[in-house]
Every structure is written in structure tokens, then in C-alpha cells.
Amino acid sequence: MKNLWNDADAGKLGNDLLKLRVYTSRLLGQEEDLVLHGGGNTSVKTKEFNIFGEEEEIIYVKGSGWDLATIEAAGFAPVKLKALRQMAELNHLTDVEMVKYQRMAMTNPSAPNPSVEAILHAIIPYTFVDHTHADAVVTISNTPNGKERIQELYGDNMLIVSYVMPGFELAKEIYKLTRDLDWNKIEGMILLHHGVFTFHDDAKVSYENMIKTVTKAEEYLKREVANELKGTVKGKVAPLKLAQLRQSVSKLLGKPILIQHDNSEFSTAFSNLPNLATIVNRGPLTPDHIIRTKRTPVVLSGDHEEDMLAYTKAYKNYFDEFNTGDLVQLDPAPRWAVWPGHGALSFGTTVKNNNIIGDITRHTMKAISQAEQLGGWDTLSKWDLFEMEYWILEQEKLKKDKASKAMQGKIAMVTGAASGIGKACVERLVDMGAVVAALDINPSINKCFSKSEVLGVECDVTNTEQLKLSVDKSIAYFGGLDMLITNAGIFPKSLSIGEMDEDTWNKSMDINVTSHQQLIKLCLPYLTLGIDPAIVIIGSKNVPAPGPGAAAYSVAKAGLTQLGRIAALELGESGIRVNIIHPNAVYDTGIWTDEVLKARADHYGLTVEEYKTNNVLKVEVTSKDVAELAVAMLGPTFSKTTGAQVPIDGGNERII
């Protein structure tokens, strides 16, 4: 474990204890092998004057919901130290009461709730307290003779504490264990199956003791684990299998999920371990992971329906076995899977969730493969894990994740996505919580959207081979498809029928009709497995109200509209809705430069403003307006509408 302390950086902070606390907290937070996504916590004790001029001892403890990697001073909750120490002396305190009284003892009511381990921090008589869930230490402790190994490794330097549920019970246990302890004799504490505490009056020493302690465990593993698990091949999964799997898990969870496939050589090798089903059934790396990953992953075989049934049944049995009577069973959906020969898969409702699950499970798989060489992966009992999973304070943490958006977990595809209506559709879908595969022939599509919710795919939609690869790539990336906005199109130069050349005609047919038919065909197997699947076709006002000189365009768009109507008839029984939008006069797109607009307006003897709003309502129609309608048509408002054609043109007398 690398010591990241830098004298120059720390020197700039002077003697400001809270700033130093932020600094070393971030050093810890940067190391994934120390803490992951909100794991671990830190504190600093200081003295402050209250408004009455009285000096009080205050402990700043990491606030719930903050991540050590990015924490700021505002992420620490200031709590009166005396109150926390008095709480440690109580014989009994429920966790809900603990949270309430901790909050009451805070000197800043707008600060976040202090960590559930705040009382424990308070009873450690040093200025700085650092706590991590270091992989290496927990891995050694998660073996059949883990306690002996830890004792042998650290001798009397560390206080070794058997597992106790975090919160008041753990604080109480440490309080009892340390009442008669000479703190000078230890450098820290190892909590078996949980993590490490180090402490000191000097921020640097406390941090460095953590690094030293963890390095010792890492070196031990290096010595004792002879053959690190390494793979040579990357797992592969057919896109259709992923979409089927997504449908099954989404049904169990009761909401749509995204799949992230970890097919690294390591994960694939892990998935091929002969005793896979038994080892992954023993439990997670640390108990706090359970709210993200559940106790176990689903191990997939050839038949996913069977796998899910078995998983659900096992989860129900586990719940029934430990439920004390008044708990309600949580959803039985797995949060991740291991698939022999294919690697690991995360099932989160957002990209962020999947990243968290993916990080946690990668660390877990590594720990399991190491512990197996130390005599076997041996985690906490099912009861301890159940207690953690159903602990009200852990479930509260999940609720703090951002309130879910209407299209959270849903997967869309948009073509012609680099500009104009297509781009606006992608942005609107992301605003609504969906993830989007954004296809465009323009290579800039790869950089068009800087969000992890969007996959830019460069694709010529008239090239069927490229289109197939792009669809497969999108499915493999997000795990399925629910919504398609088929938008790519061109507006050919104006030619009368007599002047029409073959090239202009054919090109318009290829892009404006045929490519859409190909795309819908390629997406159908996935949409059939989608959640409330729907297609929106971007047509044109030229369909109901054609103009002279635009035969190549209008005929193609009329064909596209007819394709949509037939698709609505054919796909109804699969529950796939198909609706068509006819926009007109959308001028905020690439082709309508200021010069072109001015020229067209002059042609009709209008100002640009008059030209733009030349419709019944006298309003300008923007790409954003069209996108809002398109996305609404993919959503619940239009859940009982299919085969419809809706104009968005400010009202056109020829159509009305």
C-alpha cells in the first residue's frame, strides 16, 4: 500500500485540524483497496467556543452519504464529544435512538448525520481516528483460522476484536474492551470480518499507521498466496442472452435494470473455478457490501429461468429462517451474477449503481480467490449478514440515492443522434433517466455526449453489416433495448420529377426508408424482450402535405410512415407500440444556417422571424420541442396508443 502523504501539500494546511482531516481522508479514499464507495470513516477531535463563550470538545465525524475520496469539510458532522462518550456508557440504545441523539448533540443542525460508528470514534482517546475496510486485512480474517493468522501477523501491536454488528453494539463492545487498556501499547484495532482502525494525535502518524498495517497484510498475502488467479481469455455473451437475462432480473426487481458485463480475463477465470457455486454462496467481503450486492450472486447455467427460480427460492428460505416476525421481505432479485466461462455481470438500475456493484464484486472475487488458498473463503454467518442486510440504518442509506427518474433503468437507441432532433432526443432521454445508444455517421458522435449514460456509436445506417454490429454493440453495453427513436434522414436537393436523377432518388430511399426497416428488423428481437417497448419514427409534414420539388424526400417519408403503420399492426401482439411524428419547420438544425434561413425568408418576402413562425399558432418549433414529444410518446402517457401520427408544426392549415 503506497504512502501518499506529501509534506509540501500537508504543510500548506498549517495546524488546521479539520483541513488535515480532509486531506488524509482523501488520501485513504483514493485507494480502492482501502475503501470502496462510501466505506470507511474518519474523525478529528478539536475544541471550540460555543455562543455562550464556553469551550467545548467537538468531534468532527465523517457524515453519512459522503465518500472519503471526495469529502470536504462540509462532509464532517460536528458532534459534542461529551454526549457521544456518555452514550457509550448506556446499557442499551436502539440504533434509531442512537441516530436521533447523535443528531441532537450536533453543533451544526445542517450538517449530515454522523457515521454510525461515531460513538466508537469518540471513545478512542486520540485526535485523529482513521477507519478503513482494507481488502487485504479482511481477506485474511475471512478464512477458517483468520483470527490466528491476524494475531500471528500483528502480535500485541493491535487490539483484535471479534465481529460485532456496527453501530451502538460495536461501540459498546469496544468501550468494554478498552476501559482498562493502556492505549499507548497499541497502534490500532483489527475488527475481524470488518476492517482496521488506527489513531494518533498527529494526522500523519495515524494515516501512516493505517498504511503500515495494511501493507503488512498485503505482504503476507503475497507470501502465502502462491498462485494469483489469472486468466487468458475474455468471456463473451450473446447480446440476445443478455437481453433475456435483463428481462428476468427486471421482473424480479419490479423495475428495469441495466447490465454491465465484466468479461475481463480475471473475472472469466474466476467464473471457471470448479467450486464456484459453493464459494460464492458463503457471503460478501465485508458486511456493508450486502446492501449493494445481496449476500450472494446468482450463478448462471444454461437456463436462466431455472437459475432465477432457484435464487428466489433460496432468498425466501434465508429470509424465513432469520425473520424475527415483523420484517418485510426485500425484493428477491440478485444484484450480480457469475456465469461460468463468461465472467461476472452487475444488475444495477443506473450506470452509477452498476459501477459500484462492479467495483465491489471485482474486489470480492479477488479476495475469494486469495482466501481459497489460505484454507478457504469463510465469511460471517448468515445470521450476521441477515442482520446487516435488514438493518434499518443500512436500508436508509439506499434511500439517500437520488430519487429515481421516470425512465431510470430504461435503454433507448436514437439514430442521427449527433445533431438536431436526434441530439435533442438523446438529451431528453438522459434527463428522464434513461441510457442511450446514440448512432450517427458523423465520427464526432464519439465525443458528442460526455455522459456515461450515453454510448456514442459511429454508424452508417445504410450499411446493414455496420448497423447490425452497432445494434449488437449497444445491447452488449447496456444489456437490452426498450425504446427506439428512428430518426436518421437526409433532405435531398430540390428536383422536379422530370429532373430527378437516379442517384438522388435512390439515396433518399436508402436512408429515409430502407435503413429504418433494417434497423427495426435488427432491433425487434431485443425490443420483444424490452420493458414497455416502443418505437417512435420521425416522419415529416411532407407526408400529409407534400410540396412540389421534393418527390425524393416526400415519397420516402410517406413510405416510412406506411412502414410505421404496418409495424404498429404487426408488433401489437408483442406489446411494442409504434407511433409517428411529423415535424415541420424545425430550423435549429445544422442545415439551417443564418444565410439559408435569410435566403428562404427573402424568397417568401418575410422576415426571418415571420418565416420561422409561419404557422397557425405563430410559434417557433425547435428540436427540443420535437424531442419532448418523441420521448413522451415512448412513455406511459402514450401507453395505449399505437399507429398514431402526430404533427408538431405549430398548426398547418393544409393539414388541419
Compute the least distance from the CB of residue 38 to Zn ion, in Å: 11
Identify whether the C-beta of residue 1 lies closer than 8 Å to the C-beta of residue 34: yes
Closest to Zn ion by CB, 206 or 474? 206
Residues whose CB is less than 8 angstroms from the CB of residue 368 and which lie 6 or more positions away in sequence, other chains included: 270, 279, 280, 377
Closest to Zn ion by CB, 195 or 544? 195
Compute the least distance from the CB of residue 43 to Zn ion, in Å: 12
Closest to Zn ion by CB, 170 or 448? 170
Cα 131 to Cα 656: distance, rounded to the nearest angstrom:
69
Closest to Zn ion by CB, 195 or 583? 195
**Half-sphere exposure of residue 440: CA atoms within 13 angstroms, side-chain side:** 22
- DSSP designation for 572: G
SS3 for 587-603 is CCCCCCCHHHHHHHHHH
Compute the least distance from the CB of residue 111 to Zn ion, in Å: 20
Identify whether the C-beta of residue 68 lies closer than 8 Å to the C-beta of residue 31: no
Total Cβ atoms within 10 A of residue 511: 20
At residue 299's C-alpha, the angle toward residues 274 and 291, to 5°, is: 125
Nearest CA among 102, 114, 164, 103 for reference residue 391 = 164
Closest to Zn ion by CB, 41 or 361? 41
Cα 257 to Cα 260: distance, rounded to the nearest angstrom:
10
Cα 388 to Cα 163: distance, rounded to the nearest angstrom:
12
Compute the least distance from the CB of residue 117 to Zn ion, in Å: 6
Compute the least distance from the CB of residue 291 to Zn ion, in Å: 13
Closest to Zn ion by CB, 114 or 195? 195
Judged by the rule CB under 5 A, the positions of this chain that interact with Zn ion are 195
Compute the least distance from the CB of residue 131 to Zn ion, in Å: 6
- DSSP designation for 361: H
Total Cβ atoms within 10 A of residue 640: 7
Closest to Zn ion by CB, 263 or 293? 293
Closest to Zn ion by CB, 118 or 555? 118
Identify whether the C-beta of residue 491 lies closer than 8 Å to the C-beta of residue 542: no
Compute the least distance from the CB of residue 179 to Zn ion, in Å: 22
The maximal CA–CA distance of the chain, rounded, in angstroms, is 102
Cα 359 to Cα 485: distance, rounded to the nearest angstrom:
32
Cα 376 to Cα 366: distance, rounded to the nearest angstrom:
13
Question: Among all chains, which residue has been given the C-alpha cell 464507495?
Answer: 37
Cα 78 to Cα 44: distance, rounded to the nearest angstrom:
9
Torsions phi, psi for 93 (to 5 deg): -160, 125
DSSP codes, 253-288: HTS--EEEEE--HHHHHHHT-TTHHHHTTS--SSGG
Enter the C-alpha cell of residue 441. Answer: 455517421
Residues whose CB is less than 8 angstroms from the CB of residue 608 and which lie 6 or more positions away in sequence, other chains included: 594, 597, 598, 601
Closest to Zn ion by CB, 195 or 489? 195
Closest to Zn ion by CB, 78 or 195? 195
Compute the least distance from the CB of residue 109 to Zn ion, in Å: 25
Cα 173 to Cα 447: distance, rounded to the nearest angstrom:
54
Enter the C-alpha cell of residue 138. Answer: 479482511
Compute the least distance from the CB of residue 182 to Zn ion, in Å: 24
Compute the least distance from the CB of residue 416 to Zn ion, in Å: 50
Which residues of 392-450 form beta strands (DSSP E)?
411-415, 435-440
| DSSP three-state, residue 37 | coil
Compute the least distance from the CB of residue 139 to Zn ion, in Å: 16
Residue closest to Zn ion when measured from CB atoms: 195
Enter the C-alpha cell of residue 325. Answer: 416476525
| DSSP three-state, residue 416 | coil
Closest to Zn ion by CB, 158 or 511? 158
Compute the least distance from the CB of residue 41 to Zn ion, in Å: 7
Cα 650 to Cα 582: distance, rounded to the nearest angstrom:
11
Identify whether the C-beta of residue 209 lies closer than 8 Å to the C-beta of residue 198: yes
Closest to Zn ion by CB, 293 or 512? 293
Compute the least distance from the CB of residue 442 to Zn ion, in Å: 49
Closest to Zn ion by CB, 190 or 550? 190
Closest to Zn ion by CB, 45 or 193? 193
Compute the least distance from the CB of residue 118 to Zn ion, in Å: 12
